[in-house]
Structure 1
Amino acid sequence: MDLLKQNAQISKEMLTPVSVNSLEYCETIINHVSRSFSLGINLLKGEIKKSVLIGYLLCRIIDTVEDDQTLETQVKEKYLRDFLNCFENIENSYSYSKISELLKGDKYHLELVQNTHKVFDVYFTLSQNTRNVLQKWVTEMCQGMILFISKQPNGIRIQNIKEYKSYCYYVAGTVGYLLTDLWKEYGCRITEKKYNELNKYSGIFGEALQTINILKDVAWDAKHENSIYIPQDILAKHGSSHEFILNNNYYYQNEKAVKEIMHIANDNLNVSLNYIKGISKFNFRIRFFCIFPLLMAFATLKKIKNAPNLLTPEKTIKVSRGEVKTIVKLSFLSALSNNFLIKSASHIYKLK
């Protein structure tokens, strides 16, 4: 019997009618706010599904606030700080939901913010330990966002690789640690020793996925989000700067700088394979949850590497539906075998 199925029915029965409605909402909205993670979340069962689902949605809410370029810096910082008050009681989340009327962004992301209270309604049905895990890492992420917003109120401008890694840690590495804490609580055969081994790679797993997101949207982020994540010192080394990131006269200089970040992405994706290899095959659903976005990241990096005119704002890097279907199949098989996992990654993108 799949150990992750245990207590699934009990979990539902313990919810109040209001919480059931809120859970149903959360299970629906995830399909509109996440492409890479919704499939894996839907495959999970019981308490671990609820925990990962709510963890993701909490992060998405604050990410929506951070991404809003129409908000004044002080207002944005206030909204992020106010969000942390929602962990204290459900009443605060009802008040917080009202800020959706003042935000700009994707309609489903705004709808999620409008229903912050439903996310916290389910949050308060989770075990105390799970709530502690989510609060700890979401708070860490939120405080990191505030740090960067306060330092760079006119738009993110990463200055060096140390700052780049710090940013990626706060917005994505934290998610890797959050997930590993949940695997320890709900997974099978994850001893304290195994947990410590996984945590060597937890942050890199999240940061690798974030670096791929940054690489595929370098020009878009610069033009539409007023955010430049390619470090200034790397651009300067190749004869460019943040000021000229979209200037065609500096295209080749900028491309060389971007390729340095590609090398980091490639290295981190390879290291992330060790993270998944360390998760017992008895945790099939957990492994699939981790493998699918990782293989998608390999496929995306390959497209980035081969894309002409990558630094054009109108350029869109996407994995085709046919490729996604193939990656889904490979992910299921890779969840059963570490050897097949390595072969799948190699098939999608030649490992170095």
Structure 2
Amino acid sequence: MRNVVRGLVVWALCSTQLGCGQEDPSPSHVEPAIEAVASSSAPLSTNDVGVIAPEGGCPAFAPTVWIHMDNEDSRQSSYVSDWVGATQVNGSGNTTFTFCRVDGNKFKALSTSASPLSNFALLKLGASCPAGAAEFSRYFDNEDRDNMNSNSNSANIWPNIQGRDTTLTFCLFTGATTPASSLPILEFDYGVFATPYFRFGKGAGVIFTDDEDTRNANAYTVAYDFQWAAKAIVTEGGNTTLYTARAAYVYCGDNTCNAEEGERSCPSDCTVCGNGICGPRETASSCADDCGWCGDGVCSNSEDSRTCGSDCARCGDFACNGGETPQSCPLDCRNCNDLTSSPDGLIPTCPGPNG
């Protein structure tokens, strides 16, 4: 029990960035056997996953899962940059990941085939990955001396493992026969692991962990067919780079006319003047080209002086229409007694008694 309490104290120190990972006269890491005593109040579901928590933390309906890694102490170079959500690297160069537990079945592949533009990964927190996702794992060789690894307890982070070192397991989404048009709306801001080229995000970031220097034992477990996709998101080697993306998702009102939307289904995003459709937000005055009619007082692109003289009449178009008269526009509305020649060189004549 002392070790469990000690783990909680370590976490408190880590969260205030008071130097997790600095050398301590007494061992402070929590061994897996001790961790297993703790239990979690978070509901466990078969396909649960962890999304990267936003800076403000997880909402109550998405329980928090955190994993603190004691990185290399000597000449430490761990860092985070740009959007990484609530992920932190403290002054001692140690990394705290924070995830929100959600139903993994909400997630689908975003393309029909694997691509750096659409592949993404989530932390695995259930017995199996959601349908269509492939599992891979990264083993982090953490600091050897006076290791201060800690987490929100083993039942909560399972199937991820942490003792003196850490194994994170991910669910990788690549291609699917029927892909989703975007990441799902979860009612809170969140992130995923994805390449810097991911086109379904609205902000990218980097988490770099400086792993143990002495006899480094970093390892990677991934099926051959998914190697390139996984390692483009979570790298292999003596240190580890994890690429992140802030989720962007499609919804009516996001100011982008997406593939699943149209002017009638989502006028707030897809109203375009000039496309021939009079959308719900358009009027004859705001878009005469789509919503105008002959007689509305606006000469639209589909009208001219001959097809709609009431809207498009102009003096000099050789058509006497609209409000033109022989007095206001004699060029178009000639008096039949006018001896001035017409454009064809003939002298206008008055109609006879029979017209």
Place the TM-score, normalised by the shorter chain, in its bin: under 0.3
* Structure with greater proportional strand content: 2
TM-score normalized by structure 1? 0.23
More helix as a share of residues: 1
User: Could you tell me the TM-score, scaled by structure 2's length?
Assistant: 0.23
- Higher Cα radius of gyration: 2
